[in-house]
Structure 1
């Protein structure tokens, strides 16, 4: 009978915490509804692909060559050309943001081209958004190169090129930003459950005065921690299953890696997030403060410093160093690798080891601080 008591105590704690979750609609909403909303928003509403970009063309002297050049852009899905007859009209359209770029063909464009002379074009780009400006510049150069090669071939003019470039795109041949964003968003969703919800666990107990009653019972520190962690772990993994199912079946993101590898790595990351949330909850004793710290210490870094939206390599050196203490950084790398490339162990194993180390650190520190409070 005595050997059954620890199990009965643990089951009682698990039942208590599970009922608390079921009675709190916000927990279910954060675990299932909010991730679905974020996936739908980013999957359908947010795109890093530049398609249908309005570009102005100033054609000072209409002709077959100019029409052929503009037509090359009209047949591209990346551009929505608008033709202007004067440079002033094009500049005004660029200032008014009616177009994001301006391509100017001089009056002697056709003559220079026919005379086999240099026929330069002017490209003006709105540089307010630097990323979009660089993308637009690259697209224009690409279309220009293809058009020029076609024109020279039609005129039977051969150009000796010492280097022939053959582009081959790996892992995301369709160049869909959705395939890159959706897997990273799974990490953000799990951070919400792991850190934000568990940050309220002990803080809520302190505010309601129920933790003192729990501490006078025969339960051990380990039983308290397991009783608090396990229900939220199940909740987090349930949200993960929903997110993966939406990514694969709703958005068509390929999952080229193994499900069991994804499950193991998700377990390590969720334990790290749960440990961080518990640590915040133990230290603060206030739900509002715990929630704010969880957003600043877990959610925002997962959103901004994990490589989910912004490339870590392009960040300043100091910020790049800081990202090494963000658990989401390692899981984003794992998830994007599993979805788009497959089981690349040279990438998965080091990042999984970092997650295991962080999970051990946060859970161990949480247990140590909770034991001090119990004493």
Structure 2
């Protein structure tokens, strides 16, 4: 019994030494490889700057032309309302033809026409004055914004006119608006936390796929797998350094997000790192699967972009609402890890700790990670036969 216990202890010590050696090797490789540091440090900051400053879903100060074809005080007052709105950068004219060329050449996004009949309709009891809104349909999102905001300005103007004239009939409805979580309705507060998921996908999938595929190309992977190192030890030794690197990159992203972009952080640090750790499991697992299946750096990088970056960017709900996608595409999004990570990230930053959401996301992410790690182990084992 003593000999058996001693043999078991010796085996455990050997496993620890092998694992420590693998970890040391991967750590040295990360520090010596400029591409690893570039992807883990420079790329996250660059992407956050792009999403924080270059990309915005806010439609403030949209350039439009306001053609005041009626000379009445009411028409001029309505035109002044469009000029005062923070949603428009309005130029005033007296004829819609003044702005036609600007709309065609995309110098303005719409033309708001206050017609000559506006005054007569406004003067009639119960009259419904109308305006015409011309928009450029080549940019549907901006066109919808212009239509909606123009109708909002008109509605506000009508309410003020009714209140100022002391008109009879039903009293005006006073709408009290409240926005939860993102009170200023700033798109940056939503985009930048979502961009962290894109960054983590790139680090977990692209970096792992490139580095491990490089070892397959050079033959060092086969050499390591020919040693007494088990498949589990090899996978753990490969994954853990990049897992820690991903968490370090997450820390950098959070510091930039909160202190540079001013995004509020209302959740707990524990919830942030717990959900992020769960997300790294399928991200790293996908990188291992790609590298084991291709054993080529160029092909691995292309597959990492197609299988990791593009689905996370397009099919996760980051920019496009999933419910507005075709039903078939909605079913495909079920397997996209970023679909579960992005809402959790946005909740951590803007809403606080919502544990039912977090636990559901963590369960799905861990399950996907387990499937991908199992597939990676099987692919790696096949390569040695």
Shared fold (TM-score greater than 0.5)? yes
Deviations 1:100-130 (A, max 9, x none): 1111111232233233333211111111111
Deviations 1:35-68 (A, max 9, x none): 1011111111211000111111111132321221
Distance in 2 between the 1:348 and 1:193 partners? 22
Please give the secondary structure, in 1, of the residue aligned with 2:111: strand
Q: Return the match for 1:242 from 244, 252, 255.
A: 252
Name the Cα RMSD after superposition. 1.6
Q: Which moved more, 1:59-68 or 1:289-298?
A: 59-68
Asked if the contact 2:285–2:369 (Cα under 8 Å) also holds between the matched residues in 1, the reply is yes
Aligned-pair CA distance for 1:190: 0.4
Unaligned stretches of 5+ in structure 1?
none
Matched residues, number: 375
Q: Which residue of 1 aligns with 2:108?
A: 99
Please give the secondary structure, in 1, of the residue aligned with 2:63: strand
Please give the secondary structure, in 2, of the residue aligned with 1:44: helix
Asked if the contact 1:279–1:366 (Cα under 8 Å) also holds between the matched residues in 2, the reply is yes
Asked if the contact 2:65–2:99 (Cα under 8 Å) also holds between the matched residues in 1, the reply is yes
Q: Which residue of 2 aligns with 1:263?
A: 273
Matching of residue 114 in structure 1 with residue 161 in structure 2:
no
Please give the secondary structure, in 2, of the residue aligned with 1:58: strand
Q: Which residue of 1 aligns with 2:86?
A: 77
Please give the secondary structure, in 2, of the residue aligned with 1:124: strand
Asked if the contact 2:198–2:313 (Cα under 8 Å) also holds between the matched residues in 1, the reply is yes
Deviations 1:141-182 (A, max 9, x none): 111111111111111113416965432211111000001100
Stretches of 4+ aligned residues off by more than 4 angstroms: 161-164
Matching of residue 7 in structure 1 with residue 16 in structure 2:
yes
Matches within 5 A, 1:341-360: 341-360=351-370
Q: Which residue of 1 aligns with 2:5?
A: none
Unaligned stretches of 5+ in structure 2?
1-9
Distance in 2 between the 1:236 and 1:176 partners? 28
Q: Return the match for 1:30 from 36, 39, 53.
A: 39
Please give the secondary structure, in 2, of the residue aligned with 1:80: strand
Matching of residue 183 in structure 1 with residue 193 in structure 2:
yes
Q: Which residue of 1 aligns with 2:310?
A: 300
Q: Which residue of 2 aligns with 1:132?
A: 142
Distance in 1 between the 2:254 and 2:43 partners? 14
Matching of residue 272 in structure 1 with residue 277 in structure 2:
no
TM-score, normalised by the number of residues in structure 2: 0.93
Deviations 1:177-198 (A, max 9, x none): 0011001000000011100011
Q: Which residue of 2 aligns with 1:86?
A: 95
Q: Which residue of 1 aligns with 2:26?
A: 17
Q: Which moved more, 1:338-347 or 1:36-45?
A: 338-347
Please give the secondary structure, in 1, of the residue aligned with 2:65: strand
Asked if the contact 1:56–1:103 (Cα under 8 Å) also holds between the matched residues in 2, the reply is yes
Aligned-pair CA distance for 1:264: 0.8
Q: Which residue of 2 aligns with 1:320?
A: 330
